[in-house]
Amino acid sequence: MSKNVRLRFSVGEPGRFISHLDVLRLMSRAVRRAGLPIAYSQGFSPTPRLAFASSLPVGVTSAAEYVDLQLNTPVEWEQVKNRLNDVLPDGFRILAGAALPEKYPPLMSLITTARYQIKVLGEAPDLEKKTADLTASGQILASVKRKNKEEQVDVRGLIDSLAYDPLQRLIELQCASGVQANLRPMDLLPLLGLELRDVLIHRTDLLIKAGAGRLLTPFDV
Amino acid sequence: MKQELLRILPEVSKPARYTNQELHAVHKDWERTAVRMALAFPDTYEIGMGNLGFKILYHIINQRPDALAERVYMPWVDMQQKMKEQDLPLTALESGKPLADFDIVGFTLQYELSFSNIVKMLDLAGIPRLSAERGSSDPLVIAGGPCAYNPEPLADFLDCVVLGDGEEVINELLDLVKHCKEQGIGRQAALLKLAQIPGVYVPRFYEIKYTDQGTIKTILKTEDSAPDRIQKRVVADLDQAPFPDTMVVPYLQTVHDRVMVEVMRGCTRGCRFCQAGMIYRPVRERSVETVKKQALELLDKTGYEQVSLTSLSTGDYSKVERLVTELAAECRMRGVSVSLPSLRVDSFSVKLAEEIEKFKKTGLTFAPEAGTQRLRDVINKNVREEDLYEAVEAAFSSGWHLIKLYFMIGLPTETYEDLDGIAALARNVLEIGRRSMPTSGKRPTVNISVASFVPKPGTPFQWEAFNDQEVLLAKFSYLRKRLKHPGIKFNTHDVRTSYLEAVFSRGDRRLGRVLARAVDLGCQFDGWNEHFRYDLWMQAFRDACVDSEFYAYRRRGADEILPWEHLLSGVSKKFLWLERERAYQGITTDDCRFSGCTGCRVCQDLGVANRLQGGEQIE
């Protein structure tokens, strides 16, 4: 048993429609409802010690969100998982967990990579060719919102792989995600002739690039 | 959730406003529930979710096996646009059913500037705007809340209006609607039956005749069986009144996003401008035990990090010290904080605030309302200058560095001396801060918020004129010059929105045409600066041939028949007029909790009494 627990959770309907700040508040309240012995930060306004791996863009579902909890007394991670699942609202589900050592680096600083599946709902001609052309080009200029300003940015270096599976009507994307470099999958849509309403974006993995092209999950580190 | 809705949600701002599925939202079997009511809040989800009255009604209705209540809020403009494109009607959150499918749509009348949103919501729902146009398949459109004491501008749009405490009347109303539905009783006959329920006002059974001068000549009953006058309903014992044992926890942050427990209802301080202080009489307190029990149960079920002890003036709760001390102790162990939304102007209140905010001392707010003792006596705001100075001295020396002060301008008998008084108070408070705060660290700041006084129905100032807009603007700029001072911040309210509020708060049925026209022209969200369109409103008045100044700027005579003459809050008109006269003489009136009866007639005429937990009540 450990005082520190790492949990993987999913975000579905309607949880995908709220901001990262709302998820933070929602998780703190769930922890309190579950009666878990959460530790609080010291200071003027004590806040529960929860740390998230990344922020999920609004509108995106996920099977791979992570949160680290610091408790005052050790609790088995399975118990933390079950007690939270009893009190979480629709759209949030704890899927797995692991005990953490006494000291560990903040998860947010480790994450480098995310995988997405983009389900295409409506008509989308030539997606196989369009994705292939994009990955073949040396430069991909995407319109990205930064500080409320639209900017043209070359995102080629942020994309590891991009392909379309016509049978499942799925775009598979692996790209940079994290504090150093980050790509919002929706920023690629206009380049593929798609609109937000034409797709459902789902994050399948949140990963850490180790040496020699190896990818680790947050439970491996 | 509907597939069409799901597809447009990623393209609108704050989509979680429309998703439903929040924790503790109640989903009932639509087909098997006899009476279905939509609780409609004519503002955004974030604003509406903070309303305690809504939570109480939601709880009471959903507790009935034969009834369901669902929530609906005004969609933001981007969502309205998408709904129009996709041809989607306004739907309730829980079931996603169109508003038009409910038996009852109940609006809350919280402020006049939301009236346009009510009409707009009916439009979005595809429900005929006018009561007279609705047929047997349309829902009953009802309303309640503080503006129900003069709902006349909305009279043509509403089928009935409920006066007073909703928990008293809601079950009788649902029983009757259920009965009428089962028996196949037609709309007109059902409304006649509804008019028999005490506290229920059916506007269509009253006809208003006007004089050549435009004032009201008579208010005529058109149905014999309708009551001559409608008197508000009142919960006699708040401690026994139903209160939610759980609250919907929203996905996104809303206003008052915390546990709210109502510690008391009503206020008898008797401020002469204050509508809430008149219409919610008498004072009824919950016991410390009940409040604590409700607070802790709600905290357990919601996981909220804060609990707010609400009322019109929680510092006046007779057991406030015991309650705050005991509750704060329980809450500290759970990592939960306690908040008091309204503080009295005295050092006792600062001590209370100190009790709950040992560490985080952001700002403290006080409302002296007027700048001189003379004017505070006129409005019966029984705060002395010394009280304020003592309070702020206590606050500054206990570590607060920001003091917010609320004032009104345009009050009856106001002169520029009273404005000088506001400036002097502000500077003195800042001076006290500089004297009593440690020299190192944060510097004291004083925020002065000034609003224009709007005369409200049911108050001693209901006959008064709203100050001319030009005069108010001149007063604001006069104040701004005198408050230009490092350490003092000065905020004002838009004079034009106050003007519209003044027109509608004491308006009559002739404003219904203006309202309809304004909504046609595109007016909505009038309480939101970025959407308020004064130019379109003025055009609506012109198009409907209605003179807005008649309603705002005119001082009413003692004998004039007021549009709300037939709607009674229990405070007698004679008492209100007497209070008005005392105002002009500068004579204050005591709080009946601490002195004798002041003769407002509420207790005698409604068969109720102040119910205090401290037992200080004087017969």
d(CA B346, CA B389): 8
Whether residue B363 lies within 8 A of chain A, CB to CB, comes out as no
Question: What residues contact residue B389 under an 8 Å CB cut-off, 6+ apart?
Answer: B428, B429, B432
Nearest Cα neighbor of B122 from B152, B96, B159 is: B159
Locate all alpha helices (DSSP H) within B87-183, ordered by sequence: 115-125, 166-183
d(CA B19, CA B9): 8
Report chain B residues whose CB lies below 8 A from the CB of A90.
21
Strands A92-100 and B402-409, by their bridges, are: unpaired
Tell if the CB–CB gap between B303 and A48 is shorter than 8 Å.
no
Number of other residues whose CB lies within 10 A of the CB of residue B134: 18
Whether residue B401 lies within 8 A of chain A, CB to CB, comes out as no
Cα B1 to its chain centre, rounded Å, is 32
Whether residue A20 lies within 8 A of chain B, CB to CB, comes out as no
Whether residue B305 lies within 8 A of chain A, CB to CB, comes out as yes
Distance from CA of B320 to the nearest CA of A (A): 24
The whole-number average pLDDT for the span A142-156 is 89
Q: For residues A38 and A32, is the Cβ–Cβ distance under 8 A?
A: yes
Mutate to test the interface with A, among B6, B8, B19, B49 (most CBs of A within 10 A): B19
- Band of the pLDDT at A148, cuts 50, 70, 90? confident
The pLDDT value recorded for residue A46 is 77
Q: How do residues A1-36 score in pLDDT, each as one tens digit?
A: 789 999 999 999 899 999 999 999 999 999 999 999
d(CA B563, CA B108): 20
What's the burial of B619, exposed, middle or buried (CB within 10 Å: 0-12/13-18/19+)?
Answer: exposed
Whether residue B15 lies within 8 A of chain A, CB to CB, comes out as yes
d(CA B68, CA B89): 20
Q: Could you give the C-alpha distances from B181 to B37, B168, B177, B189, B210, in angstroms and in order?
A: 13, 22, 6, 12, 37
Nearest Cα neighbor of B489 from B429, B445, B457 is: B445
Element (H, E) at B264: strand B264-265
Tell if the CB–CB gap between B19 and A14 is shorter than 8 Å.
yes
Tell if the CB–CB gap between A15 and B20 is shorter than 8 Å.
no
Q: Which two tokens stand for residue B156?
A: 């043509």
> What pTM was computed for the model?
0.95
Residue of chain B with shortest Cα separation from A201: B10
d(CA B1, CA B93): 9
Nearest Cα neighbor of A5 from A85, A52, A70 is: A70
Distance from CA of A176 to the nearest CA of B (A): 23
Beta-bridged to residue B369, according to DSSP, are B407
Distance from CA of B120 to the nearest CA of A (A): 26
Report chain A residues whose CB lies below 8 A from the CB of B19.
13-14, 17
Tell if the CB–CB gap between B359 and A44 is shorter than 8 Å.
yes
Compute mean pLDDT per 10 residues along chain B, 619 residues long, and list them.
79 92 97 98 97 97 98 98 95 97 98 98 98 96 98 98 97 98 96 98 98 97 97 97 97 95 96 97 97 97 95 93 93 86 82 75 88 98 93 90 95 98 97 85 92 98 98 98 95 97 98 98 97 98 98 97 98 98 97 94 96 67
Strands B363-369 and B402-409, by their bridges, are: parallel
Question: What residues contact residue B258 under an 8 Å CB cut-off, 6+ apart?
Answer: B304, B305, B306, B307, B308, B339
Specify the DSSP class assigned to residue B218.
E
The pLDDT value recorded for residue B619 is 41
For the CA atoms of B166, B454, B48, B489, what is the dihedral angle to 10 degrees?
Answer: -140
d(CA A194, CA B318): 63
Element (H, E) at A160: strand A159-165
What's the burial of B168, exposed, middle or buried (CB within 10 Å: 0-12/13-18/19+)?
Answer: middle
- Band of the pLDDT at A123, cuts 50, 70, 90? confident
Q: For residues B79 and B271, is the Cβ–Cβ distance under 8 A?
A: no
Whether residue A147 lies within 8 A of chain B, CB to CB, comes out as no
Q: Which two tokens stand for residue B170?
A: 């809601």
Write the single-letter amino acid at A209. Answer: K
Chain B from 48 to 87: CB within 8 A of any A CB = none
DSSP string, A7-36: EEEEE-TTGGGS-HHHHHHHHHHHHHHTT-
Whether residue B607 lies within 8 A of chain A, CB to CB, comes out as no
Whether residue B96 lies within 8 A of chain A, CB to CB, comes out as no
DSSP string, A69-104: EEEEEEE-HHHHHHHHHHHPPTTEEEEEEEEE-SS-
Tell if the CB–CB gap between B335 and A48 is shorter than 8 Å.
yes
Residue of chain A with shortest Cα separation from B304: A29
Distance from CA of B441 to the nearest CA of A (A): 16
Tell if the CB–CB gap between A89 and B334 is shorter than 8 Å.
no
Sign of CA dihedral B178, B179, B183, B184: negative
Whether residue A43 lies within 8 A of chain B, CB to CB, comes out as yes
Tell if the CB–CB gap between A19 and B252 is shorter than 8 Å.
yes
Tell if the CB–CB gap between B22 and A89 is shorter than 8 Å.
yes
Q: For residues B244 and A12, is the Cβ–Cβ distance under 8 A?
A: no
Report chain A residues whose CB lies below 8 A from the CB of B339.
none
Q: For residues B561 and B215, is the Cβ–Cβ distance under 8 A?
A: yes
Q: Which two tokens stand for residue A13?
A: 């309907």
Q: Could you give the C-alpha distances from A21 to A51, B164, B286, in angstroms and in order?
A: 12, 39, 35
Tell if the CB–CB gap between A58 and B20 is shorter than 8 Å.
no
Sign of CA dihedral B274, B278, B281, B282: positive
Report chain B residues whose CB lies below 8 A from the CB of A19.
252
Nearest Cα neighbor of B153 from B527, B576, B536, B551 is: B551
Tell if the CB–CB gap between B1 and A15 is shorter than 8 Å.
no
Nearest Cα neighbor of A175 from A114, A108, A109, A110 is: A114
The pLDDT value recorded for residue B617 is 46
Q: For residues B142 and B202, is the Cβ–Cβ distance under 8 A?
A: no
Beta-bridged to residue B220, according to DSSP, are B207
d(CA B265, CA B282): 8
Chain A from 53 to 72: CB within 8 A of any B CB = 58-59
Counts of helices then strands in chain A (DSSP H, E): 4, 11
Strands B402-409 and B445-452, by their bridges, are: parallel
Whether residue A122 lies within 8 A of chain B, CB to CB, comes out as no
Specify the DSSP class assigned to residue B184.
T
Whether residue A91 lies within 8 A of chain B, CB to CB, comes out as yes
